[in-house]
Each structure stands twice: as C-alpha cells, then as structure tokens.
Structure 1
C-alpha cells in the first residue's frame, strides 16, 4: 500500500493527490510498454513529468507505487466478476461464458505485466490477498441476494465466495505467467482470452 507516513498527511492536499495520480498512471502506462524489471523510478518520474525526489516523497519504492497503482486495475476486474451471476441451480447457467467474464480477462490482459509480476513466484502476497478479498466480498454480497429466504447460511456462502475467488486469482496467476501456454516445435501457443474465459466459466459453474 502507499507509504502512509506521507500519503495520510498529504491526503487533503490537492497537489499531492494529483501527483500520486500522475505517478500511478505513469507506472501503469510503462507496464504496458515493457517488462516491470525494466522500469526504474527515474522512468516513472520522467513519464509523470516530476523529479525523482518527488516520487520518493509519496512512495518508498517501486513496489509500494505498484501496489497503489494496481488498486485501480482491480476495480474493473471486481465489477466484472460480480456481474457474473452465481446461482444455486447451476443448470440454469449458460454454457457460454458471460460477456462480463470475457471483459474481466480483457482487463487483466491489458495489465498483464503487472499481474504477472504481482502474482508470480516472487510477487506480492499483499496484492494477491487484496484481490482475493475484493473478489470474495463482491461474490458474497451477490450470493446473499440470490439466497432463498429461510435457508440462509452466511458461513457457507462466505466459504463459497472465497473458494471461487481464490480459484480465480490462481487462474489469473497461471494465465498471466504463461504457465498455461504450450510450446510445441518452437511454436508458442498462448491461451486466448476467449479460451481462458470459457475454461474458467466451466469451473465456476461446477463450483457455483
């Protein structure tokens, strides 16, 4: 998360908020152009059109900035996930993945470098936990509204939401890390957005 010693004291300062927004946008833009290992704090400062010292006034290091910046990428992903309705009767769910799930993986793919880094072997446990919690909360709230009156078991619904969100985070990690891709005769076969959405939806329907 952001360096709270600076961000809390500056939270009411419009200039500080604008600077942090510029820095978050800069690191997300750069992540779409190159691997994260090739992004230095000086690159971020240059893209945001601030000096390097200013970056360190708001974030202690690149990982700190990435955690803050990626919070914004999670919002669309969580909204897309919560739009995929989970019902007790899985037979009423369509075999085809909902457009919202395709949108979810499209959003992930847009920031693939960040998700590959954050959910990778040497990634951020805080990032993974935050994403899982947000997804679980969204699905739990949806399941509460879908539950049949008089048969509500909040503990079971919460476990179900965490089961599905944990599985989805794992799928995102494997997909963005290229561990689901096939390499045969030196030809790289990457798993497409449509294919990963279909496979994930099949698993969600079984566990929904």
Structure 2
C-alpha cells in the first residue's frame, strides 16, 4: 500500500517536534497559496518553503489537499474567528450575527489566499471541508430555531443545510472574484438574507 492509500491525515500528537513540523508545513502552503493557484503547488514547493524534507511531509500528511485544509482551519482559529451557532438559542436575529461578520472580515483580510483556495484552480478538499462545517452549523441552527418556531418541511434539515452551505460558498467565491470592493457587512447581509429567506 502506498502513502496515498493510507489515512488522509496522520494521527495527531502533542509532541513539540510534530507540532513544529506541521506548523512549518501549514505556514508554507498558506504562503504559497497567497502567491498563486493552489492546484499548481507541488509537494517539493511546500517542503522547500518549509525547510523540511519530503519524508517529513509524509510523516505528517499523505497529500497537499489535507495539509491545505488543516492550514486554512488553523489560520482562522489563530485569527480568533470561527463559524458557530452562538446566539441562535434565543431565536433568529434580525441581522447577521457578529461571528459571521468577523469570519467574512477574516476572509476579506486574506482575500488573495481565499480567492486562490476557493476559485477554479483551488482546493476541492478545502471547499468540501468548509461546506461540511457550514452545513453542520446550519443543521444545529435549524434545530435551535425549531425549538422556538417549528416549521413543517418535506426537506430534511441536513439536505436544506447542504444546499444553503453550497449557496453561501458560492456567494463568498463570487464576492472575492467579481465584487471584491463590496464591504464585508454587505456580504454578511446577502448571506443572512439567503439563510433566513422564507
């Protein structure tokens, strides 16, 4: 069995050397992702930029897609932003929640990276992971909202959430590529309108 056929991500570890190596690899692919299309990044580019060997790369990851998805996750967490259902337990707010505005601002602050990652020459793995994260949050939100105002629907919540997640990512990608001058609060309003539309 070759390395590409093994698990996508190697087991996590708190070992300082492991964390340092993963950090170097994640920093390297983020910098490369800011510079150009991510589908053109080779593993040798990543290891050279990180200053580690190819075998070190394979000690931690089996492919660059999973590395990039992990790096994007860490990048957002390091900035103190995340998507969550915070505030929905009181019912649906009339305006976009602050965590959504903050997350979109993080994307705007690193627009070229996200443009390269989510665009036509970007990463399917990152796109899929973001879609899953958004859909999970939406399912949780639909559940919380249903406690306040139950709505009968023939569409399962998970299906509805998956459709909305796709729409949200499409809005973000279009914003980055076609309307980059649009202020973040406006984009949050677009997304909130899509989510809350009857």
TM over 0.5: yes
State whether residues 81 and 104 of structure 1, in contact with CA within 8 Å, keep that contact through their aligned partners in structure 2.
Answer: no
Gaps of 5+ in 2: none
TM-score, length of structure 2 as denominator length: 0.70
Deviations 1:42-101 (A, max 9, x none): 66445544346533554456445323322334668983353363987x6xx42x433222
Task: Count residues in correspondence.
Answer: 191
**Partner of residue 16 from structure 1, selected from 12, 15, 18:** 18
**CA 1:202–1:6 in structure 2 vs 1: closer, same or farther (change >3 Å)?**
closer
- Name the counterpart of 1:136: 135
Residues in 1 aligned to 2:134 and 2:127: alpha-carbon distance in whole angstroms: 11
The secondary structure found in structure 2 opposite 1:118 is helix
Query: Aligned-pair RMSD on alpha carbons?
Result: 3.8
The secondary structure found in structure 2 opposite 1:138 is helix
- Name the counterpart of 1:25: 27
**CA 1:77–1:169 in structure 2 vs 1: closer, same or farther (change >3 Å)?**
farther
**Partner of residue 68 from structure 1, selected from 67, 70, 86:** 70
Matches within 5 A, 1:95-110: 96-110=95-109
Residues in 1 aligned to 2:194 and 2:149: alpha-carbon distance in whole angstroms: 28
- Name the counterpart of 2:124: 125
State whether residues 131 and 162 of structure 2, in contact with CA within 8 Å, keep that contact through their aligned partners in structure 1.
Answer: yes
Q: Deviation of residue 169 (structure 1)?
A: 1.1
TM-score, length of structure 1 as denominator length: 0.67
State whether residues 80 and 104 of structure 1, in contact with CA within 8 Å, keep that contact through their aligned partners in structure 2.
Answer: yes
User: Does 2:76 correspond to 1:85?
Assistant: no
**CA 1:19–1:166 in structure 2 vs 1: closer, same or farther (change >3 Å)?**
same
- Name the counterpart of 2:189: 198
